[in-house]
Amino acid sequence: MNNAKRYDRIAFVASPSAEAQSALAQLTAMYGNLPVDDSDVVVALGGDGLMLQTLHAHMRTGKPIYGMHRGTVGFLMNEYSTHDLRERLASARESLINPLLMRATDIHGAVHLHHAINEVALFRQTYQVSKLRILIDEHERMPELMADGILVATPAGSTAYNLSAQGPILPINAALLALTPISAFRPRRWRGALLPNSAFVVIEVIEGEKRPVAAVADHDEVRDVRRVEILSDKTIAMRMLFDPGHSLEERILREQFGT
C-alpha cells in the first residue's frame, strides 16, 4: 500500500491564536482543506489544548490526527513546517490511545458520562479537605483518603497533571493507569498506585454535602459528585501520528531523563 496516497486528502483545524490562524491560511493555500468527513487525515495546528479538543471531536471517526505546534504547550505536537507535509504524514508513526470513560453520579442521582484522554480527576470544591473511598475491581483498597483530590491518568496523560501531582510517568505502550493523590493529608505518605488498564476504579465521596467534590474528565466538569466510576474504554482507539524519532513513546522516555 502507498502510504502517501492515504494522506492526500487533508483536513486542517486550528486554534484561534494569530499564529495558528496564519499557519492555517498558509497550509490551506498549499494543500487545500477538505471537510473532515472527506479527508484521510486531520492536521491540528495549535498546542496540546487544541490536540485534546481535536481528539475528543473526532474520537469515534477512526481518522488519524497529526499535530503541528503553533501554540503554548506542544508535548503532543510535531514541529511546525510547511514543507513536504504529505511526505511527513506518509512516514509518520502511529500511536494508539484508548480514552478513559468516566461515569459520575451526582448528589441528585443524575448520571454524567464523559471521556478523558489525559485524566479523570476529583477535586475538593471548598476549603475543606475531601474524604474519598477507593475501590478497585469492586474490592475496597482504601476506606478513607483525605486529600485535595485524586486522579486516574492514562499513559498519554501521565506527563500532564499527573506528573505535576508527583505521579509516575508511564510508557505509552504500558498497559497501566496511574492512580495519584492530590496533596494527600491522610494517609500522608501514600503516593498512589499503578493499576492494570483493565481495572475498574470506583471513587466514592464521603460526607459529600459537607465536603463537596467535583469530577473532571479532561475539560468536562461535574460538580457535587457522590460516586465516580472510571475505566479504560477499549471500544475507542484514537490514532495519533508522530514524525520518526519524535513519537509519543520517545517523548515520554525523554521526559523521564529530563531531556
Binding-site residue positions: 48-49, 118-119, 148, 156, 159-164
Residues 6+ away with beta carbon under 8 Å from 40: 6, 7, 8, 9, 10, 63, 64
Q: Is 220 a residue of the active site?
A: no
Out of 40, 48, 84, 233, the active site residue is 48
Distance CA 2, CA 227 (A): 49
Binding-site residue positions for NAD(+): 48-49, 118-119, 148, 156, 159-164
> Any idea what the Cα angle at residue 103 is, between residues 102 and 108, rounded to 5°?
135
Q: Which three cell numbers stand for residue 126?
A: 471548598
- Contacts for 106-111: CB closer than 8 Å, 24+ residues apart: 106/222, 106/223, 106/224, 106/225, 106/226, 107/208, 107/209, 107/224, 107/225, 107/226, 108/224
> Which residues belong to the active site?
48
